[in-house]
């Protein structure tokens, strides 16, 4: 069954103590409900309508997000569907495996460590599930207009899904249908002061979790020199009680525009074209 890739052009350890939230203009925003639902459940939220209609034993799926529509016929017995956050690297097409987050400069002392929170875009996956638990991805929607950039040079760099974020010392409240939180641990392994203002993360290392109000991921950036850092995902939520998301990662046959030979090792990406 084809996956409809539509975007809205307008628009193992855990932390033991609860986290408080920093200030954000998203604090009073409506909250999107993720989870498992029966086919009689319908979504009408912030311009998104989504639902299934039973037509003589076959379900008719309809989705509309501010004019972008998709329909499909579903043949399943005693099934259900899931709504969950997924990596923001599927729309409008499989352009890249990398997400880049730009933020205000952070200067770290020699051999120092710190933890910050950044925002990141997310997409929403619609999954079908049989009574035996077999799951497949039906549809992808987004409330974000994707932007792309080039990390490095045209002759030696990677295309990235680009996002700009404020820097927070505490996790801010976010619109959980539009943005997630990245807990980023920064470690300076040098004997000099280091300054960073961007992070590039490979999709395979991006493990998302969600609860009733927040979507999150964790990553670590180890600074090896003034211009080089290793970045990898950490598979854990930012707090207890969060649900792990299904990862929608498919290894590309080729990685478009990736000309950095040897910079990617499993899920670790080496940023050797600068950190600012």
Domain range summary for the chain, segments of one domain joined by +: 4-11+33-271
The pLDDT of residue 8 is 43
CA distances from 121 to 10, 45, 100, 114, 173 (A): 14, 18, 10, 23, 14
Give 204's DSSP letter.
G
Give 200's DSSP letter.
E
Report yes or no: 233 and 201 within 8 Å, Cβ to Cβ. Answer: yes
Each residue's pLDDT expressed in tens, for the chain with a length of 276 residues: 344 444 443 333 333 333 444 445 565 778 999 999 999 999 999 999 999 999 888 999 999 998 899 999 999 988 899 999 999 999 888 888 899 999 999 999 999 999 999 999 999 999 999 988 889 999 999 999 999 999 988 777 889 999 999 999 999 999 999 999 999 999 999 999 999 999 999 988 899 999 999 999 999 999 999 899 999 999 999 999 999 999 887 655 445 445 454 577 788 999 988 898
The pLDDT of residue 9 is 38
Report yes or no: 184 and 221 within 8 Å, Cβ to Cβ. Answer: yes
SS3 content of the chain, % helix, strand, coil (to 5): 0, 50, 50
The pLDDT of residue 152 is 87
| 44 burial level (CB within 10 Å; 0-12, 13-18, 19+) | exposed
Could you count the other beta carbons within 10 Å of the beta carbon of residue 3?
A: 16
Pairing between β-strand 156-164 and β-strand 98-108 as defined by DSSP bridges: parallel
Could you tell me how far CA 130 lies from the centroid of its own chain? Answer: 26
Residues 262/264/268/270 CA torsion (nearest 10 deg):
60
Tokens at 259, concatenated: 């000309």
pTM given for the model: 0.86
Report yes or no: 198 and 213 within 8 Å, Cβ to Cβ. Answer: no
The pLDDT of residue 262 is 52
């Amino acid at each position: 069954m084809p996956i409809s890739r539509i975007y809205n052009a307008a628009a193992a350890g855990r932390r033991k103590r609860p986290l408080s939230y920093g200030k954000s203009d998203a604090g009073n925003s409506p909250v999107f409900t993720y989870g498992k639902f029966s086919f009689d459940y319908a979504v009408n939220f912030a311009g998104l309508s989504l639902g299934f209609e039973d037509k003589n034993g076959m379900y008719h799926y309809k989705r509309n997000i501010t004019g972008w529509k998709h329909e499909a016929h579903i043949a399943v017995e005693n099934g259900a569907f899931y709504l969950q956050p997924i990596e923001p690297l599927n729309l409008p097409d499989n352009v890249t495996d990398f997400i880049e987050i730009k933020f205000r400069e952070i200067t770290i002392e020699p051999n120092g460590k710190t933890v910050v929170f950044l925002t990141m875009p997310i997409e929403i996956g619609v999954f079908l599930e049989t009574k035996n638990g077999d799951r497949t991805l039906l549809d992808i929607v987004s409330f974000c207009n994707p932007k792309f950039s080039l990390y490095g040079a045209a002759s030696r760099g990677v295309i990235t899904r680009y996002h700009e974020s404020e820097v927070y010392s505490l996790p801010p409240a976010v619109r959980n249908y539009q943005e997630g939180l990245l807990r980023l641990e920064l470690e300076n392994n040098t004997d000099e002061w280091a300054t960073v203002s961007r992070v590039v993360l490979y999709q395979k290392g991006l493990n998302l979790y969600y609860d009733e109000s927040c979507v999150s991921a964790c990553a670590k950036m180890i600074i090896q020199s003034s211009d080089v850092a290793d970045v990898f995902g950490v598979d854990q939520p930012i707090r207890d009680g969060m649900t792990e998301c299904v990862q929608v990662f498919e290894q590309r046959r080729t990685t478009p525009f990736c000309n950095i030979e040897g910079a990617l090792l499993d899920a670790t990406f080496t940023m050797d074209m600068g950190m600012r």
